[in-house]
A and B are shown apart, each in its own frame.
Chain A
Amino acid sequence: ETFQATNWMTPAHILNEFPYQKFAADVKEASKGSVDFEIYSSGSLVPAPTTMQGIGDGVAQLGIVYPPYNPSELPLNNVVNDLVFVSDDDFAAAFAWTELGLTNEKVRAEWNKNGGVFVGGYATPVYNFVCMKEITDPASAEGLKIRTAGTAQTAWVQSLKAVPVSVPIADVYSGLERGSLDCTMTDPTNLDKGNKFWEVAKTVNLLPMGVVVGATYVYNKDFWSGLSPENRRILLDETAIGLARSQVAYHVGVANALKGSEERGLKITEANPDMVAALDKFKTSMIAELPKRSMAERKIEDPSDVIANFLELQKKWSGLMADVDRTDPDAVARIVKENLYSKLDENTFGLN
Chain B
Amino acid sequence: MERIEIGFMGLFAVLALIGIRVPIGAAMGGVAFVGIWGMMGWRPAVGIAKAVPFHLIGDWNLSAIPMFLLMGFIAVEAGLTRGLFGAARILLARIPGGLASSTVVASALFASASGSSVATAAAFSRIAVPEMLDAKYNPGLATGSVAAAGTLGALIPPSVLMIVFGLLMDTSISTLFVAGIVPGILTAIMFILLITVRCYFNPNLAPATKVDVTREEKRALIADAWPLPVLIAGVMGGIFTGVFTATEAGAAGAFLAFMIALVRGRLSFPIVRKALVDTAAGSSTIFIIVLGAALFARFVALATIPTWVMGFFDGYSTLTVILLVCLLFLALGAFLESISIMLLTLPVLGPLLLSHDVNMIWFGVLTIKLLELGLVSPPVGMNVFVIKSSMGSRVSLGTIFKGVSWFVLADLVTLGLLIAFPFISLWLPSLMEMR
Q: List the interface of chain A (C-beta within 8 A of B).
A: 4, 10-13, 38, 40-50, 53-54, 57-59, 167-168, 170-171, 173-175, 177-180, 193-194, 196, 199-200
- List the A residue with the shortest CB-CB distance to B175: A199
Which of B138-146, B211-219, B241-249, B385-393 lies on the face that meets chain A? B241-249
Given A12-B350, A54-B47, A179-B242, A44 contacting B297 (CB threshold 8 A): yes
Contact A199 B172, beta carbon cutoff 8 Å:
yes
Given A171-B245, A171-B247, A47 contacting B47 (CB threshold 8 A): no
Interface residues on B, range: 35 or more
Within 8 A of A (CB), among B35-66: 40-41, 43-44, 46-48, 50-52, 55-56, 60-61
Residues in A with CB closer than 8 Å to B173 are 173-174
Residue B346 at the chain A interface, CB threshold 8 Å: yes
A175 to B174 alpha-carbon distance, docked (Å):
12
Residues in B with CB closer than 8 Å to A46 are 47-48, 51-52
Residue B23 at the chain A interface, CB threshold 8 Å: no
Contact A180 B244, beta carbon cutoff 8 Å:
yes
Of A10, A49, A170, A177, the contact of B347 (CB 8 Å cutoff): A10
Contact A50 B172, beta carbon cutoff 8 Å:
no
A284 to B348 alpha-carbon distance, docked (Å):
47
Of A47, A171, A194, the contact of B52 (CB 8 Å cutoff): A47
Seed contacts A11-B350, A42-B347; 10 additional CB < 8 Å A-B pairs = A46-B51, A47-B52, A49-B55, A57-B44, A57-B50, A59-B48, A59-B51, A170-B167, A178-B245, A194-B167
Given A11-B350, A175-B245, A54 contacting B60 (CB threshold 8 A): no
Residues in A with CB closer than 8 Å to B193 are none
Of A42, A170, A173, A178, the contact of B343 (CB 8 Å cutoff): A42
Least CB distance from A206 to B in Å reads 24
> Can you spell out 16 A-B residue pairs with CB atoms less than 8 angstroms apart?
A4-B302, A10-B169, A42-B346, A44-B301, A44-B343, A45-B298, A46-B47, A46-B51, A48-B55, A50-B51, A50-B55, A57-B51, A58-B44, A170-B167, A193-B170, A194-B170
Least CB distance from B38 to A in Å reads 15
A223 to B297 alpha-carbon distance, docked (Å):
25
Contact A45 B347, beta carbon cutoff 8 Å:
no
A/B pair count, beta carbons within 8 Å: 103
Residues in A with CB closer than 8 Å to B297 are 44
Residue B163 at the chain A interface, CB threshold 8 Å: yes
Contact A54 B51, beta carbon cutoff 8 Å:
yes
Contact B350 A10, beta carbon cutoff 8 Å:
yes
Contact A11 B351, beta carbon cutoff 8 Å:
yes
Of B43, B243, B244, B351, the contact of A57 (CB 8 Å cutoff): B43
Residues in A with CB closer than 8 Å to B168 are 10, 42
Of A12, A48, A177, the contact of B242 (CB 8 Å cutoff): A177
Interface string of B166-201 (1 = CB under 8 A from A): 011110111000000000000000000000000000
Least CB distance from A1 to B in Å reads 13
A241 to B6 alpha-carbon distance, docked (Å):
37
Within 8 A of A (CB), among B212-249: 239, 241-247
Given A42-B343, A170-B61, A178 contacting B241 (CB threshold 8 A): yes
